Chains A and B, each alone.
Chain A
Amino acid sequence: QSVLTQPPSVSGAPGQRVTISCTGSSSNIGAGYDVHWYQHLPGTAPKLLIYGNNNRPSGVPDRFSGSKSGTSASLAITGLQAEDAADYYCQSYDSSLSGYVVFGGGTKLTVL
């Protein structure tokens, strides 16, 4: 049971727009902690896609964008491409107990 909740899967046709939600609580996203997003292809190192809610590292296409509101965050992918098929994870920080890094359960994106 992950602290952050993501849909298990989403899908879209090439060229379409998809969004992936990430729902937390008042002790993590709602407490003001940043949300980061990672793209993960099995067998490879996860890649930082969005940091600080809505910032793209150098080299990440502007087709990827992030947003945050209240206790939730979202990742949007526009102009869907076959190479975007991967698992996507959101990540934040939880202030409960002594504080710790938390992940969403991951969302598998299928490009139809």
Chain B
Amino acid sequence: QVQLQESGPGLVKPSETLSLTCTVSGGSISSYYWSCIRQPPGKGLEWIGYIYYSGSTNYNPSLKSRVTMSVDTSKNQFSLKLRSVTAADTAIYYCARGPVITMIDNWGQGTLVTVSS
């Protein structure tokens, strides 16, 4: 059973860059779509973007100008960078896997990232 583990700083200052690393264990990162999804406090889920193991990406139009995702197949990891963060970016950030672009079948436990000075 594949497992995803998020890691990164729990606190980021406004205007700085949020960095999240997702480590995949129990399976290969190949042949899947890897997504980042977030949930602000008291709100619903928001898809941030995905990266295919080959490196192709697609991002949520509302966040596209601030997001970059990358993949390191040698480490079975993928990463998220979200630039110029504000308090509105405070959320639980999840890493997730999808067998196809349109579906997610496996999630990490999530990590809380707070944007505050």
Chain B residues contacting A46 (CB-CB under 8 Å) are: 45, 94, 107
Give the contacting residue for B110; candidates A45, A92, A103, A106; CB below 8 A. A45
- The tally of CB-CB contacts under 8 A between chains A and B is 59
B: number of interface residues (CB 8 Å)? 22
Chain A residues contacting B59 (CB-CB under 8 Å) are: 100
Give the contacting residue for A51; candidates B35, B47, B60, B105; CB below 8 A. B105
Chain A residues contacting B8 (CB-CB under 8 Å) are: none
Measured CB to CB, the closest approach of chain A to B43, in angstroms, equals: 8
Give the contacting residue for B102; candidates A38, A92, A106; CB below 8 A. A92
Q: Which residue of chain B is the closest to A28 with respect to CB atoms?
A: B102
- A61 contacts chain B at the CB level, 8 A cutoff: no
Measured CB to CB, the closest approach of chain B to A5, in angstroms, equals: 11
Interface contact B44-A98, CB-CB below 8 Å: no
Given contacts A45-B94, A48-B105, contact A102 B44 (CB under 8 A): no
Interface contact A101-B44, CB-CB below 8 Å: no
B residues 99-117 near A (Cβ < 8 Å) are: 101-110
A102 and B109 alpha carbons, distance in the complex (Å): 20
Q: Which residue of chain A is the closest to B103 with respect to CB atoms?
A: A36
Best-buried of A57, A101, A104 by chain B (most CB within 10 Å): A101
Chain A residues contacting B107 (CB-CB under 8 Å) are: 45-47
Interface contact B61-A101, CB-CB below 8 Å: no
Measured CB to CB, the closest approach of chain A to B104, in angstroms, equals: 7
Chain A residues contacting B104 (CB-CB under 8 Å) are: 36, 38, 48, 91, 101
Q: List 9 A-B contacts (CB under 8 A).
A: A36-B103, A46-B107, A48-B106, A51-B105, A91-B104, A100-B60, A100-B61, A103-B44, A103-B45
Enumerate chain B interface residues (CB-CB to A < 8 A). 35, 43-47, 50, 58-61, 94, 101-110
